[in-house]
Amino acid sequence: MAFGAPTRALFIPQEDAERWDAAIHEASEVYRGRMHNICCDNCHSHVANALNRMPTRAYGIESWDMVKLALLVFVKGRFLSAGGIYMQFGPFAVMVLLVLLFKMRGN
């Protein structure tokens, strides 16, 4: 994982465990030689590729891509631990507090 352990997960029901495993293996073979790109070809793209190979329909989505998956994880995903909440939102909160402190100090 490029940024540490996962903090959220999205439950996607799957009935065929063998197809699930095969699709993950196929997607991993595709992404084995690719360079990770934070904007265009990342872990969300890898998962979307596997979901399209299954094929999986969940949350009203049949054709998966990294944007749909990332938004769905943000909206519907569950935190894996209480620490995950701090890991995900902590850095943003610290930056907002620093900006507010510097702004108040300047007045």
Residue 91: is its pLDDT beyond 80?
yes
85 shares a domain with 43: no
- Per-residue model confidence (pLDDT) at position 25: 96
DSSP 18-52: HHHHHHHHHHHHHHTTPPPBTTTBSHHHHHHHHHH
Report the mean per-residue pLDDT for the chain: 89
Residues 67 and 23 in one domain: yes
Q: What is the pTM of this model?
A: 0.76
Print the domain residue range for 98.
81-107
In this predicted structure, the answer to whether residue 2 has a pLDDT above a threshold of 70 is no
Number of domains in the chain: 2
Q: What is the mean pLDDT of residues 12-23?
A: 91
Are 88 and 71 members of one domain? Answer: no
Confidence of residue 27 (pLDDT cuts 50, 70, 90): very high
Residue 3 is assigned to a structural domain of this protein: no
Does one domain contain both 36 and 59?
yes
Mean pLDDT, residues 17-46 taken together: 89
